[in-house]
Amino acid sequence: MNAIDADPLRPRVLITGASRGIGLAAAQVLAAHGWDVTGVARSAPACFPGTFIEADLLDANSLAELAGQIAGGPPLAGLVSNFGMARHEALIDAGWDDFAALMAANVRPALALAQAALPGMRAARHGRIVHVTSMVTRGNPWRTGYAAAKAALES
């Protein structure tokens, strides 16, 4: 994992799940608007508009290390929790262990990183935390655990 670099003249944002899709698009837009962007995912994309940290957010040690870097660094102006994990499962087939694993995978990183960022945001008297969820929270017969986890983030 790399240290989080900071440009003191630009607002800082950390985006999880930033190697592709919504996370990468958010990074590109924020960077284009002058933000100092740090992205996080298991592997870096070919091109990223800022600092990139390769970290497995499902690994407790990697998550704790990243949270420590956030808590010990300059305050973030924004945190975008975009990381997510889904499985193809119907309610009738959802076992408790798999359900609990999806809840932990989708909620634990968002909670840990928000808790790490919040003291700096409070001290700066500014900051935003965005948890990216999904329309599946409104119902999808094949995303039981994922929908429950994303609904937890919405609440």
Catalytic residue among 35, 83, 99, 146: 146
Active site residue 104: no
Task: Compute CA 101 distance to the chain's CA centroid, rounded to the nearest angstrom.
Answer: 17
For residue 58, the one-letter residue type is: L
Q: Evaluate whether 45 touches 26 at the Cβ level (below 8 Å).
A: no
Burial of 78 (0-12, 13-18, 19+ CB in 10 A): buried
Tell me the catalytic residues: 146
